[in-house]
A and B are shown apart, each in its own frame.
Chain A
């Protein structure tokens, strides 16, 4: 399996948490969220895009939206974590940490060898 494909698959399960995380404190519009993800170290979201995922979060009521003028640009649609979105984020982060810990425990015994 290609590394990029594996990365995409792993991200797919937690990208919604990442999106909620970047709007939990301050609302952001689409590209601004991409920028925040990049600033926190997630430069690419792999295959796909944040837009369909934002659409799902909106449909499920995990984000609230409003339109507002952006700095010097056209009015943008801003997303912010709703109350249920915050709860989902808290639960998701806990689940992620559990899974990460379990997977780390299993993979810790593997000695990776990288040859140049």
Chain B
């Protein structure tokens, strides 16, 4: 067996061509090449191919003895797309939450937070207690602990002093008055 045919035979074996057929093809090729050589025709002229393995593979493939080699599909990597998808989902979720939060904040009534209003303590000294109370209320202040019975009492001192700016309508913003009963 010539080297060319021998390599063809090996290739057919590698490709899984049944031995019976591979032997038959090898024998035919061997006989043809010998006959050609006897007539002065080179192997290259007969097989038209310098690579015995390629020649053998083409022959076997054309005969349908081996499956045609299809270009292998490139397997696409899936995981980068999964990561991107997850990121997109997370981003959209975050965006949705932000939008809902903003919308909720827009639609909901404003919180009943009393404005941090400040008031200037008026001068109440020398006023009657009930009059002083009215002045204080008009200024946004509250006078606590003033019994009705002391309505005509005179204010002789006040805390804090007149002119002080205090936070109006706050628990600790009450003005304390010292009263003196009218004689």
Contacts and interface: CB of A to CB of B under 8 A. Distances in A.
B47 A49 contact: yes
Interface residues of A, number: 23
B46 A31 contact: yes
Contacts of A53: 62
Nearest to A47: B48
A55 B60 contact: yes
Contact of B28 (A29, A44, A49, A59): A29
A14 to B, nearest CB: 16
Contact of A51 (B31, B39, B59): B59
A82 to B, nearest CB: 16
Interface in B1-54: 24, 27-29, 31-33, 35-36, 39, 41, 45-49
Interface in A38-87: 44-49, 51-53, 55-56, 58-59, 70, 73-74, 76-77
A13 to B, nearest CB: 16
Contacts of A48: 48-49, 58
Nearest to A49: B48
Contacts of A30: 28-29, 32
B55 A73 contact: no
Q: Is the interface of B mostly helix, strand, loop or mixed?
A: helix
Contacts of A52: 55, 58-59, 61-63
Contacts of B24: 77
Nearest to A70: B31
B30 to A, nearest CB: 8
B27 A74 contact: yes
Contact of B63 (A34, A45, A47, A59): A59
Contact of B36 (A31, A70, A74, A77): A31
B64 interface: yes
Contacts of B33: 31
A66 to B, nearest CB: 12
Interface of B: 24, 27-29, 31-33, 35-36, 39, 41, 45-49, 55, 58-65
